[in-house]
Copies of this chain bind each other. A is one copy, B any other.
Amino acid sequence: MGKDLSTREENYSEWYNELVVKADLAEHSAVKGCMVIKPYGYAIWEKMQQALDKMFKDTGHVNAYFPLFIPKSFFSKEASHVEGFAKECAVVTHYRLKNAEDGSGIVVDETAKLDEELIIRPTSETIIWNTYKGWIQSYRDLPLLINQWANVVRWEMRTRLFLRTTEFLWQEGHTAHATSQEAIEETEKMLDVYSTFAEKWMAIPVIRGTKTPNERFAGAIETYCIEALMQDGKALQAGTSHFLGQNFAKAFEVKFASKEGKQDFVWATSWGVSTRLMGALVMSHSDDKGLVLPPKLAPFQVVIVPIYKGEDQLAQISAVVLKMKKAMEAKGISVKYDDRDTQRPGWKFAEYELKGVPVRIAIGGRDLENGTVEVARRDTLEKETLQQADIENKIEHLLEQMQDNLFQKAMAMRETKTYQADTYEEFKNILEKTPGFVMAHWDGSAETEQKIKEETKATIRCIPLNNKQEAGKCIYSGKPSTQRVVFAKAY
């Protein structure tokens, strides 16, 4: 095949960059830091959206849409939020272009300068809480459970397709509650939704935990997250859910009257996942031959390739294929029949391997005689010859098996790459030689966390929920600690 990839062994980073482009998921655009999500990549994102959107709606949320632009002054209203978000962003200063007087093209019309600059949303807490102010007067208006699917922009100097781009697509939930407890429950519920999605759909095991204060969302009281481990031993934060306390309600003066008629500030959460998940998906399962997609998120789950000589045989094969295809589709399996005569079977095999199609069915002259097909599964690359009869049930079962197998494989990989370190030497040694999650004692101080980050580039990914309590000593300061936390280098 003409699409040789770097191997993961040779250069994991190159392998990823090449794979995303060669498998037609995305590519760099003419605008620095912004990507084009190609149809095949976008079809996976659509599958993700559908599954998540259903889960959001099943948990009582509704969608809405808020403006792309945020007035600059809004960012200054929540003190820590401005530090986190208002710095590296796209700033709209003018609203008109004009023809240059020297005929050299078009230029900004300086007379069309905005009184107040508009920021392209890097996240929408400020514009949304400014809006909620008009929507919430009484406890009857609560809870407000709203989600938005949108594009956001954070100006990035070093970008990588899906993992870190200036513009990206995401969903952001923004909820409002009458009590602190209800808001915390919501924050945790949405973390559950995310971890269920990661594990059941993406087939990626995740650690659920809370961030250290250093790593919290700007404006949050508590940030919950799910952390996944990639094949190269680097961690990837796959979703966050924030308990915002009354910070944004206070910044935007959003109060409600309780049943008893008392005025109080509203309690808030926000939570989001983004096209970054596409990067996690690619890096978790794929191999040196290309993408490996979990069946639940594959744009098509089965591809059928005819191997034929002449039009007559193709017609005979097609008759059989179309019957099988129909039977599979009736079971909700998505099937593509690639009978193009412009490409040879070998080319097609390599192409669908590269694109991670879960199951490939090949059918040739001998299969016609024997009533068989050749079934190849993408995850293990195993092939077997199966009878055509009842193929839809066999494939359905195989897809379920593959979905489960991918999760088990990823789980085994994570377990292999999860270590305990009891000394700083050990810790550094692991990070250098066998990177992965390192469970280690930490004294709980921001200073220690910062020093470790500076010296090793490893960060505290999270403090796991329901973490085992055990007495120990901080690997860095030697001070007493009550639990191990999860360290790793991260994307």
Q: Chain A: residues with CB nearer than 8 A to chain B?
A: 27, 29-31, 34-39, 42-43, 45-46, 62-76, 82, 86-98, 105-106, 108, 117-120, 127, 130-131, 134, 140, 146, 150-151, 153, 155, 167, 169, 342
Contacts and interface: CB of A to CB of B under 8 A. Distances in A.
* For the complex of A and B, 6 pairs with smallest distance between CB atoms: A34-B67, A39-B62, A37-B65, A91-B94, A95-B155, A93-B93
B93 A91 contact: yes
A92 B91 contact: yes
Contacts of A127: 29-31
Contacts of A27: 131, 134
Copies per complex?
A: 2
Given A31-B67, A82-B106, A39 B94 contact: no
A89 B73 CA distance: 22
A63 B92 contact: no
A30 B71 contact: yes
A36 B131 contact: yes
A131 B76 CA distance: 38
A475 B448 CA distance: 85
A155 B39 contact: no
A30 B42 CA distance: 32
Contact of A97 (B45, B72, B92, B153): B72
Given A31-B67, A167-B67, A87 B92 contact: no
Nearest to A41: B64
A138 B209 CA distance: 51
Contacts of A118: 31, 90
5 contacts: A69-B90, A90-B95, A91-B96, A95-B155, A96-B155
Contacts of A108: 91, 93, 117
A63 B37 CA distance: 9
Given A72-B97, A86-B106, A151-B151, 8 more contacts: A27-B131, A34-B68, A69-B90, A76-B106, A87-B96, A91-B92, A92-B93, A120-B120
Nearest to A135: B38
Given A105-B73, A118-B31, A167-B68, A89 B82 contact: no
Nearest to A76: B105
A39 B67 contact: no
